[in-house]
Structure 1
Amino acid sequence: METERGRFPRRVYGAGDEPDPRFSLANERTFLAWMRTSLALLAAGVALEALDLPIAEGVRLAAALVLVALGLLAPVQAWLGWVATERAMREGRPLPAPRLALALAVGVVVAGVLVLVGLLLR
């Protein structure tokens, strides 16, 4: 396919048929939503450490580290999800579930529990 030669990543664009552009654009919006989530998680982690909040210090640091780690994991989910979804659409397969969504959800719960415990221990 001549039009596929310069497109990245080739393992996505070199497979199957071109899907309806609306679906590819929706997939891109989902990718960008994961990126915004990443920025929010990173900002929350930095804010926990940068601001003088009434949260027990050790627990606050642990919650901040969990949030920053999740903020680094979300772009991985964004990329893997975009690739898997785009390829599934091109090959006419069912759309895959997010690979790291459970880890991110559990991590947010852990960070929230840490903040709650830190508030109670102050």
Structure 2
Amino acid sequence: MADEEHTNDACDPQGPPPHLGSNDATGYLTHFGNERTFLAWIRTSLALLAGALAVAQFPRVAPPGLRAAVVYYLIALAVGAAGAGYWFWRLRQKGARSAGSRMPVQAILALALLALVGPVVIVIAVRLL
């Protein structure tokens, strides 16, 4: 028993999956941190969908055209957030396996553009009504 190598893997006695790297806790911490971040993106997406449903269900909140614009905007943001969460999760998983992986600036800019252009379109729609 004294000759056996002691590992620090409390989660799995056989060690981490091959894509996590060596037999230390750092691989697990990186993997689980990545999972938590992905789940945060999904929670945000679900909250945006719940907001879209709430706006759609209350007809007295705003005129029908404005309500539809807000609902479609929130749905587009929800889909974008879920897609971005998956994309970032996949890139971080690849980055954990290989050094030198970078986050795509295009994806961040696309989400920022969607988040900024949507309210402008809604304001224009309100003025046209």
TM-score w.r.t. the length of structure 1 is: 0.69
Any gaps of 5 or more consecutive residues in structure 1? 6-12
1:39 is aligned, of 22, 36, 46, to 46
- Long gaps (5+) in structure 2: 1-15
Contact 1:56-1:121 at 8 Å conserved across structures: no
Tell me if the contact between 2:42 and 2:82 (Cα under 8 Å) persists in the aligned partners. Answer: yes
Q: Does 1:102 align with 2:109?
A: yes
Counterpart of 1:10 in structure 2 is: none
- How high is the TM-score relative to the length of structure 2? 0.66
1:36 Cα offset (Å): 0.8
Q: Is the 8 A contact 1:77 1:99 kept in 2?
A: no
Higher relative contact order, structure no. (Cα contacts within 8 Å, ≥ 6 residues apart): 1
Verify the 8 A CA contact 2:91 2:101 in the aligned structure 1: no
Structure whose alpha-carbon radius of gyration is higher: 2
Tell whether the 8 Å contact from 2:55 to 2:61 is kept in structure 1 after alignment: no
Preserved contact between residue 38 and residue 74 of structure 1 (Cα < 8 Å): yes
How many residues get paired? 112
Sort the Cα spacing of 1:98 and 1:86 in 2 relative to 1 into closer, same or farther, 3 A. farther
Mapping 1:63-102, distance limit 5 Å: 63-97=70-104, 100-102=107-109
Identity %: 30
